[in-house]
Amino acid sequence: MKKIGIICKPDRPEPPKILKDLVPWLLERGIEVYLEAETASFEGVTSLPRAEMPSVADLMVVLGGDGTMLGTARLVAEKGIPVLGVNLGGLGYITEVYMDEIFTALDKILKGECPTEERMMLQARIMRGGEAIASYTALNDVAINKGSVARIIDLEISVDNTYVTMFKSDGAIVATPTGSTAYSLSAGGPILYPTIHAIVLTPISPHTLSNRPLVLPEDVRIEMSLKSQSEGVLLSLDGQVVFTLMTGDTVEIKKSSHNAILLRAGGRDHFDILRTKLKWGER
């Protein structure tokens, strides 16, 4: 890997301090460095708009948190570019490398000694009047929720053209295994091992308490149709991209043809991360 792009979380004090040492370290090893123009600059290094980074980089380094990682994963998934996440705060679920580990991690990567892990992504298509009006990719989840509306909404759920049920609820979440520890978990969904081949469908505060989360095969197509006359119902992708739905809209969700490729340079297994984040074993 000879070309590395670096994306930083905006308005954080840590990235400039890290870049001061990191950029010369990479240049000394013959690496071409590209910085995201919106958040960082460095003398003698090319700065590019974020949207152009996938066209030049062999590897992306994220200085931020899980949110910055999610945006970067969506950005580079189609190109199959691996991503290394460096967490600027507490231990993240997908940004597992600490700031003081970044040089050790990159040394392993440049030597070809760092394992990668492919994570399933979702493709969501919004259908209105029988036509596709928008399409998005998500690494964590695709969620429909009522926004600021006080009343519950009606979502008709189908899987592979087979009617499942009508969720009378605050909404629903379709999550990947990676996203099972995010919004879905807070709504009562199960934790899936990150590389398992499955999707979880979780209702949000269902009116009928017997509506429980469903774990489905990864190759199904899920359809969620908004049936109630409600305003302000929102579709969100990874909690970052938001689209306003109208009555009669259908959101079709299936496995994306692209995977996120994460570099596992921190040496921590998934249970280490869960114990730390969820405080398992503590009293």
- Each residue of 224-257: pLDDT tens digit? 999 998 888 999 999 999 999 999 999 999 999 9
Residues known to be catalytic: 66
The two beta strands, 131-138 and 32-36, are unpaired
Q: Would you say 173 and 187 are in contact if contact means Cβ atoms under 8 Å apart?
A: yes
Q: Would you say 23 and 30 are in contact if contact means Cβ atoms under 8 Å apart?
A: no
pLDDT tens by residue, 41-64: 787 799 999 999 999 999 999 999
Q: What's the pLDDT score for residue 1?
A: 73
Q: What is the DSSP letter of 97?
A: B
Tracing tokens 């460096």 back to the chain, one arrives at: 86
Phi then psi for 101, rounded to 5 degrees?
-105, 0
Report the mean per-residue pLDDT for the chain. Answer: 93
Looking at the chain, the number of H-run helices and the number of E-run strands are: 5, 17
pTM of this structure: 0.94
User: Domains in the chain, start-ordered, CATH in brackets?
Assistant: 3-115+264-278 (3.40.50.10330), 121-257 (2.60.200.30)
Q: What's the pLDDT score for residue 91?
A: 65
Across the range 148-160, mean pLDDT stands at: 89
Burial classification of residue 20, based on how many CB atoms lie within 10 Å of its CB (0-12 exposed, 13-18 middle, 19 or more buried): exposed
- Please determine, for residue 40, whether its predicted confidence score (pLDDT) is greater than 70: yes
